[in-house]
């Protein structure tokens, strides 16, 4: 179905369409006005299958009292959906305008705690060690490695990397999983006026949600590849999360936090190179120094010894950075 036909079928044939700024994903959004009610058009031209997961996750989050956009209509085959417009007050925009940082992060942590108090739904795919190793390989070894070394890594490199990731995460494999949204950071959170408690935290970009460790999304929030957080704020928010979820073994959770953060930072540090090389989005390389620094800090934790040993064997500290961008 074409976009025009989809909009007409749901009463938006004459709506004014305003494109929203793009991000690192293949999806794009348009704000619609003049239709039955304010809405966003979500278009997934390269991956129509992401519509169905978005709908499932949205329904799950809303059933918990959290504020994911309501899906008004969807055509998964065409990769189109009409979703609730939650506005423009992203945490990133609010922080840039000088809003209270601690209050915004507290709201995010409280929303995350609500999500983590319930088990993941049965339909959620696994975000376990093998899945995380594969995702990290898809950026570090498929894109960063050739860009840095000029060669494709052989099978032994792939195998040893996978083994290092699995060994790093294995001690925490028995911990009860939660629904990990996987991109839980200030760019994907909004403050919603008129809603109370955790519902005041709007949630975006959650279609890749999967059953994973509770430390993963907290690390995504507090060790943000796009902005710096003061150590004191990180510590207070981790304490807030522990209190809200009733964490018992804090030392174990801290180790899990470091392990999952290290694997995430590995994937994201190399993701910036993939975005530049494959998609021509060189502006994201500005985040690379911070991400590699976060990775270095995580690797220093004893829980990350297997992954740290792999980096020592294959990628010396002097090369732990983004390769230079290609000439335009």
Q: Answer whether residue 301 is part of any domain.
A: yes
Distance CA 91, CA 134 (A): 30
What's the whole-number mean pLDDT along residues 145-159? 97
Residue 38 belongs to domain with CATH number = 3.30.200.20
Distance CA 208, CA 53 (A): 7
Q: Answer whether residue 275 is part of any domain.
A: yes
Report residue 191: phi and psi, to 5°. Answer: -95, 125
Pair 73, 118 in one domain: no
Output the pLDDT for position 23: 64
- Of 60, 84, 108, the position where a domain reaches its end is 84
Q: Answer whether residue 324 is part of any domain.
A: no
Residue 177 belongs to domain with CATH number = 3.90.1200.10
* Domain range for 217: 91-319
Out of 73-77, 99-103, 114-118, 251-255, least confident range? 73-77
- Of 84, 115, 133, the position where a domain reaches its end is 84
Nearest partner of 189 among 269, 260, 109, 263, judged by Cα: 109
Q: Answer whether residue 192 is part of any domain.
A: yes
- Of 84, 104, 127, the position where a domain reaches its end is 84
Pair 35, 115 in one domain: no
What percentage of the chain carries pLDDT values higher than 90? 88
Q: Answer whether residue 175 is part of any domain.
A: yes
Q: Answer whether residue 268 is part of any domain.
A: yes
Residues 6+ away with beta carbon under 8 Å from 101? 95, 233
Pair 183, 304 in one domain: yes
Q: What's the pLDDT tens digit per position in 184-243?
A: 999 999 999 999 999 999 999 999 999 999 999 999 999 999 999 999 999 999 999 999
**pTM of the predicted protein model:** 0.93
Residue that is written with structure tokens 């329904």 in the block: 59
Contact 79, 47 (CB under 8 A): yes
Q: Answer whether residue 142 is part of any domain.
A: yes
Nearest partner of 228 among 97, 101, 100, judged by Cα: 101
Q: Answer whether residue 197 is part of any domain.
A: yes
The domain total for the chain is 2
Pair 178, 283 in one domain: yes
């Amino acid at each position: 179905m074409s976009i025009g036909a989809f909009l007409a079928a749901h009463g938006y044939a004459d709506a004014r369409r305003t494109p929203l700024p793009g991000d690192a994903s293949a999806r794009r959004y348009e704000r619609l006005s003049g239709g039955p009610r304010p809405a966003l058009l979500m278009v997934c031209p390269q991956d129509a299958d992401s519509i169905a997961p978005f709908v499932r996750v949205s329904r799950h989050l809303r059933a918990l009292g959290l504020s994911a956009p309501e899906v008004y209509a969807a055509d998964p085959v065409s990769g189109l959906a009409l979703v609730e417009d939650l506005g423009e007050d992203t945490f990133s925009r609010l922080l840039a305008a000088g809003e209270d940082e601690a209050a915004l992060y507290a709201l995010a942590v409280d929303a995350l705690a609500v999500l983590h108090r319930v088990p993941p739904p049965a339909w959620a795919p696994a975000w376990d060690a093998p899945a995380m190793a594969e995702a990290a390989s898809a950026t570090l070894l498929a894109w960063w490695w050739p860009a840095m070394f000029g060669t494709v890594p052989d099978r032994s490199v792939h195998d040893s990397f996978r083994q290092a990731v699995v060994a790093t995460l294995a001690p925490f494999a028995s911990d009860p999983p939660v629904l990990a949204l996987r991109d839980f950071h200030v760019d994907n959170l909004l403050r919603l006026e008129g809603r109370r408690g955790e519902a005041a935290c709007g949630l975006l970009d959650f279609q890749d949600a999967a059953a994973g460790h509770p430390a993963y999304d907290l690390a995504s929030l507090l060790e943000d590849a796009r902005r710096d957080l003061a150590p004191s704020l990180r510590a207070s928010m981790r304490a807030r999360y522990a209190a809200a979820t009733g964490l018992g073994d804090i030392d174990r959770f801290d180790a899990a936090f470091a392990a999952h953060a290290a694997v995430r930072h590995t994937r994201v540090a190399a993701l910036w190179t993939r975005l530049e090389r494959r998609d021509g989005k060189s502006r994201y390389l500005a985040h690379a120094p911070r991400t590699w620094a976060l990775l270095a800090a995580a690797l220093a934790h004893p829980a990350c010894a297997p992954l740290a040993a792999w980096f020592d064997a294959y990628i010396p500290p002097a090369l732990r950075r983004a390769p230079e961008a290609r000439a335009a």
